[in-house]
Amino acid sequence: MQIAMVDEVFANASAEQATSFFEAVGRRLAAALVLPSDDWLLPLEHAINGFWQPLGLGHVSLAIDKDGIAIIHDHHAAIGAARSPAWPQATAAVVFGAYCAWFAALGGAGAFHTRLVQQTSDQLVIHHGV
């Protein structure tokens, strides 16, 4: 059913509209995760991976870089990519939307931005920082 819904959205909306829709879904899903109260990356990484695992949407590695935080998310499309050409686009947008929401909730709005750096069929490279 999920694949049929994804395919239907991409069939009846522009790519930009469909992507925006699935990013909004990701932001909505992100609200279900209570972020760790400390400011260490490892507990955040564990919490996020615990969120993605039951959804079958891959896993993340977080690392500090010179301008912020590098977010490497692998296997976001693993469960449906073979059955739908739109699935990787939808899951990438959901995952990106969730990271945007989580990092906005951690603070620094205005000074820091979350942006997609690179996207392949099964990996997202996202940066949060300046």
Q: Rounded to an integer, what distance in angstroms lies between the CA atom of residue 51 and that of residue 107?
A: 20
Domain that holds residue 118: 3-129
Place of tokens 């919490």: 47
Residue 23 has pLDDT above 80, yes or no: yes
Rounded to the nearest 10 degrees, the angle between the axes of helix 2-12 and helix 15-30 is 140
pLDDT of residue 107: 81
Whole-angstrom distance, CA of residue 46 vs CA of residue 52: 10
Q: Rounded CA gap, 115 and 128, in Å? A: 6
Q: Which strand (E) or helix (H) includes residue 124?
A: strand 123-129
Rounded Cα–Cα distance for residues 53 and 118 (Å): 22
The number of folded domains in the chain is: 1
pLDDT at 8: 96
Which CATH number is 106's domain given?
3.30.1380.20
> Is 90 exceeded by the pLDDT of residue 111?
no
Determine the pLDDT at residue 76.
93
Q: Give the global pTM.
A: 0.93
d(CA 80, CA 106): 31
Least confident of 53-62, 82-91, 105-114, 120-129: 105-114
Mean pLDDT of 77-99: 88
Where residue 108 falls (left for φ over 0; alpha for ψ -120 to 50; beta otherwise) is left
At residue 48, the pLDDT reads 98
